[in-house]
């Protein structure tokens, strides 16, 4: 199961790179950024398919989406100067708490 979480980390990283490149692709009019988007999502979904061999789908998707949201929000704030107000930070905190609850207390994570 540990290899599944390594693959999940790779999938999340690839998805975050691809999502970040979406802004710079300008509606897929910039070839290099568009290529990064396509390759990033391809790698992300390939590794997610490997994850699902060992990690339950609901758990994998909760971690994938939760960590992805946190990372993308951080990238948007740090590099793209997109503000995060108190409600946004609270919501992100709740997402992190939800993923932590799944990992720490759910019997669904055992496969």
pLDDT band, residue 71 (cuts 50/70/90): very high
pLDDT band, residue 60 (cuts 50/70/90): very high
pLDDT band, residue 109 (cuts 50/70/90): low
User: DSSP letters along 32-86, please?
Assistant: HHHHHHHHHHHHHHHHHHHHTTTS-HHHHHHHHHHHHHHHHHHHHHHTS-----H
Query: Using the 8-state DSSP alphabet, how is residue 109 labeled?
Result: G
70 pLDDT higher than 70: yes
Express as a percent the part of the chain with pLDDT over 90: 78
84 pLDDT higher than 90: yes
99 pLDDT higher than 90: no
């Amino acid at each position: 199961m540990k290899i599944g979480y390594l693959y999940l980390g790779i999938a999340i990283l690839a998805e975050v790179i691809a999502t970040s490149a979406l802004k710079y692709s300008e509606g897929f009019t910039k070839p290099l950024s568009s290529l990064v988007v396509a390759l990033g999502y391809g790698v992300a979904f390939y590794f997610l398919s490997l994850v699902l061999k060992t990690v339950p789908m609901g758990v994998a998707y909760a971690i994938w989406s939760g960590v992805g949201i946190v990372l993308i929000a951080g990238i948007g704030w740090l590099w793209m100067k997109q503000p995060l107000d108190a409600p946004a930070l609270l919501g992100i905190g709740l997402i992190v708490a939800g993923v932590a609850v799944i990992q720490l207390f759910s019997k669904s994570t055992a496969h």
